Amino acid sequence: MAKIDFGGTIEDVVTRDEFPLAKAREALKNETVAVLGYGVQGPAQALNMRDNGIRVIIGQLPEDKRYWDKAITDGWKPGETLFSLEEAAAKGTIVQYLVSDAAQMATWPKIKTCLKKGDALYFSHGFSIVYKDQTGVIPPAGVDVIMVAPKGSGTSVRRNFLDGSGINSSFAVFQDATGRARERTIALGIAVGSGYLFPTTFEREVHSDLTGERGVLMGALAGIMEAQYNELRKNEHSPSEAFNETVEELTQSLIRLVDENGMDWMYANCSATAQRGALDWRHEFRKAVEPVFARLYQSVVKGEETRIVLKSNSAPDYKNKLDAELKEMHDSEMWRAGAAVRSLRPKNWKK
């Protein structure tokens, strides 16, 4: 493992220099990777592995036509590389359990009977294992239980793979029944297209992931955008101006500079007026949200967020309620303004 200085803290990480794709292929040459679930992470990880020369099959509910048909469109063949969840799990030596967290709880009684001694049970989220008292997911003793958790959506995992950049992932071994669990985990992490891999535990992964999704990555980001947009509109700024100052400049300019060089560099390369205001108000916003993050983290650790997710996502009317919530966001003035702004972006400004 490479030792990297992360802001004064030395961490061990795995890069492609020390564990190249050729080594991953060798480690997985006798494995059949069964990817269960072709919804969010499943397609990206399966396609990346297939492109990297790994033997992959898909497990998907045939009655869920949207995802079954998507798998066929992507080149998976029913009866050859595309099967039901149970059939794929039985055929695989590594079972990538990539159905949703609620679906893992629902399908586990059948999937666990398909696992054979020496198999590996792979997760991309620590949810079901850490909150086993709620999910009932308790693996048998004879299988490796491992995790590779890409730090991005399935769309980003695939997109970054195709453009050659990869996406960073955490990895963990919960149970090593074969003595090969760590090697299998890292090989899979390289095969699914990770830029580099950093160690964690199932518990730390799920605590950070649930906090991040509800916080900066999605919940807090959306909430802060809405608050600023609404304040500008309340003070008679046009929808176009409010959206551009709230979202468009962030996504099309500033966040790209942060990505390339860091927040300090972005601050150093904006106007003196923007610098001064941002440096001052940064502390105000941090103080304002610190108590919210403290409550959020404790809600995650105590399993309250898990309880809410499992109850909501297992309800028979879940999809209808979800569609209604997403429609409310889609139909809001802010995101209708966003659609208009995006439509006006030059398709090729050099012409």
Which residues are catalytic, by number?
125
Q: Which residues contact 248 (CB under 8 A, 6 or more apart)?
A: 338, 341
Nearest to 309 by CA among 210, 219, 207, 202: 210
Distance CA 293, CA 43 (A): 32
Find out whether 184 and 146 touch, Cβ atoms under 8 Å.
Answer: yes
Distance CA 182, CA 171 (A): 9
Find out whether 220 and 328 touch, Cβ atoms under 8 Å.
Answer: no
Q: What is the DSSP string of 7-60?
A: TTEEEEEEETTTS-HHHHHHHTTT--EEEE--SSHHHHHHHHHHHTT--EEEE-
Find out whether 96 and 144 touch, Cβ atoms under 8 Å.
Answer: no
Pairing of strands 94-97, 144-150: unpaired
Which amino acid appears at position 225 of this protein?
A: M
- Whose tokens are 């409010």? That residue is 242
Helix (H) or strand (E) holding 132: helix 132-135
HSE of 299 in the Cβ direction (CA atoms, 13 Å)?
A: 18
Q: What tokens does 75 get?
A: 């080149």
Q: Which residues contact 338 (CB under 8 A, 6 or more apart)?
A: 243, 247, 248
Q: What tokens does 239 get?
A: 């929808």
Q: How far is CA 136 from CA 103, 139, 244, 325, in A?
A: 12, 9, 47, 29
Distance CA 96, CA 89 (A): 9
